[in-house]
Chains A and B, each alone.
Chain A
């Protein structure tokens, strides 16, 4: 399918679902970030009990998808008790190596809060489903490669499990799945003074608009925020996806 057509289809899907869900869920069903603009753009924050998908837009951007997920997770863990459970399939471990807990400290994730599950492909769905059903977890990260992409029924089951556990769920997926409430397309960017920076495109959202924007992470203050964009752009913050709507002027 052509990218323009796909984008239009996503927009239609977003419009169809947005109004139904908006306002229907109380605000306690979201984990909000410190950046109010980011909350607004995501339709309230990270919805609890929903599948929030993070898709890399190229092979090497899978690393960026991981770093964005951990950055968001770190923010969520500031507001929620409990451990972070990572269910990672064989592909990611083989391709990009093991989760390095020491490196996650910069996102505010303490190594002792991590529970890592690396099932064989045939157990991936059942392990992920069981984890999503578990109540009281800080956050759940599922890393599902293209090879293990879930069909409509499997992703529906995951969605039901997530709604049972009511946790903050992030899915790093190789192929988009049908039942996610939020899908972010991620690409890496070079941030100011070596900070983490991502170009993000909201491809699907049940609670907010479809937009493109940039996100930066300040690991000295453990803060995830949308970098200020000047009227005519600056050398360090030009949106890659051409989203003109997010232009703001900050003193």
Chain B
């Protein structure tokens, strides 16, 4: 891969064959072609690389929720915080074996090191030759092994690395022998900090790429699933698991995120929302069935899906409902429940933005006085003065539509209008209602002689060539 750097096309990434020929990152493309004339080079796609790395990082969430992808120059690194996760795989060696096996299936080459802290793992994975087969360093082995690594492993900037090398400090061990105070005085606080991080004297926290959810249920399949029908069965099972887990804690979820991991590293997410917190697996199964129905045509199963993980989000403690005491109250609850279920189902089918509640706000301009909010989200119910509501139309056009009008001057209501190529003589009109700040509007409700009702406004004063618009009907 090559890209335009410092006025010349330079190599940004090479494969193993090119490396064997002596072509290195940073060479100009013409130099590389001088070494090997038949060299095939493509334009580098840095954004694409970032997206691919992020995708792969998401796939690694199968091992631990704390995952962070980093790109430093030509090096792409994914950091995993395996604290508390190793026992799930038996030991570190089995985990490494699993990762290598899966990455090899995807056609990816990786160097992996497991170390007691982030700084050391970084140094070992990038600068220890043993990392290509997988390297596990324990706390005891940390200091002697780290001392033999190059100074570049400390995550310092290039300039500091060069300065250190000029002074003959080429290995981390050389730096370890210098007193901390002298280090800070001569090279700044960064060097000492980087060394402390690598040695584990300073804590580093990995911020995860995704929200960590405590309520999780996962199903690992022995054989990868290749059809939507097969997947639906496992999804139902997984939802039963998560709902049972929530029920045991007397909790309900308003959102369940389903993560589907494909064997070749691709990762899908399906999110279903509920109007109220619940732990009823049948409801969630129906919602996901709707979602899957929409997605299955565009879903590429590749070589199959081998892991499903359900995450319950926005959980709430379920409150007991005494709905059998008052029959009227019970009927109201049943009705509200029916609307919730309908809204959830239809939101899953046609999208939450198409199933909405209408909320009013105390704004004068008609288009600002109403907002739409997804029916499955809880929203504040606003209030609107009733005497003004009586003067509003029942349908509000998406955009005010221009019309022609014959009106009394200077600011009388229209007597005749031409709207959508039809002429209407006006029988009744209300007094004007002035709204707006800089773009002042005078609104009128007018009734045509045949009974058609319009909500119109005039923008601008008589002497400013006013424009007439229809804003609503009915």
Contact = CB atoms under 8 A, between A and B. Distances in A.
Contact of B389 (A106, A112, A123, A190): A106
Contact of A136 (B331, B343, B474): B331
A81 B335 contact: yes
A116 B395 contact: no
Interface string A93-118: 11011111111111100011011111
Interface in B315-355: 331-332, 334-339, 341-343, 345-346, 349-350, 354-355
B381 interface: yes
Nearest to A126: B349
A83 interface: yes
B402 to A, nearest CB: 15
B350 A105 contact: no
B447 interface: yes
B38 to A, nearest CB: 53
Nearest to B358: A101
Contacts of B338: 82, 134-137
B307 to A, nearest CB: 32
Contacts of B450: 60, 187-190
Interface string B387-398: 011101111111
Contacts of A123: 349-350
B356 interface: yes
A115 B473 contact: no
B357 A99 contact: no
A134 B451 CA distance: 36
Nearest to A105: B389
A100 to B, nearest CB: 4
Contact of A97 (B372, B398, B422): B398
A27 to B, nearest CB: 20
B474 A190 contact: no
B98 interface: no
B355 A106 contact: no
Given A98-B396, A130-B346, A63 B339 contact: no
Interface stretch (A30-38, A64-72, A225-233, A242-250): A64-72
B219 interface: no
Given A103-B394, A105-B384, A127 B369 contact: no
B358 A130 contact: no
A209 interface: no
Q: How large is the interface on A (under 10, 10 to 19, 20 to 34, 35 or more residues)?
A: 35 or more
B449 interface: yes
Given A115-B375, A116-B357, A127-B350, A100 B394 contact: yes
Contact of B354 (A63, A70, A118, A135): A118
A111 B375 contact: no
Contacts of B370: 98, 100-102, 111
Contact of A67 (B354, B356, B357, B394): B394
A176 B173 CA distance: 88
Given A66-B395, A96-B395, A103-B392, A81 B349 contact: no
A5 to B, nearest CB: 26
B403 to A, nearest CB: 13
Contacts of A105: 384, 386, 389-390, 392
B395 A190 contact: no
A63 B424 CA distance: 15
Nearest to A93: B398
Contact of B395 (A61, A63, A115, A194): A63
Given A101-B370, A105-B384, A118-B354, A130 B451 contact: no
A132 B336 CA distance: 15
B139 to A, nearest CB: 59
Interface in B3-31: none
B69 to A, nearest CB: 37
B359 interface: yes
Interface in A119-152: 119-120, 123, 126-127, 130-131, 134-138
Contacts of A130: 342, 345-346
A102 B474 contact: no
A219 interface: yes
Interface string B358-384: 111000001001101001000001001
B427 interface: yes
B111 interface: no
B343 A103 contact: no
A100 B366 contact: yes
B472 A131 contact: no
Nearest to A119: B350
Contacts of B430: 194
A197 B349 contact: no
Given A96-B397, A137-B339, A190-B447, A115 B392 contact: no
A85 interface: yes
B357 A115 contact: yes
B335 A136 contact: yes
A117 B354 contact: yes
B55 interface: no
B9 to A, nearest CB: 48
A96 B337 CA distance: 32
B358 A117 contact: no
8 contacts: A81-B335, A97-B473, A102-B366, A106-B390, A107-B394, A115-B343, A116-B356, A120-B350
Those 9 A-B pairs whose CB atoms lie nearest each other, nearest first: A188-B451, A136-B335, A97-B397, A105-B389, A101-B358, A103-B392, A100-B396, A82-B335, A136-B338
Interface of A: 60-61, 63-64, 66-67, 70, 81-83, 85, 93-94, 96-107, 111-112, 114-120, 123, 126-127, 130-131, 134-138, 187-191, 194, 196-198, 219
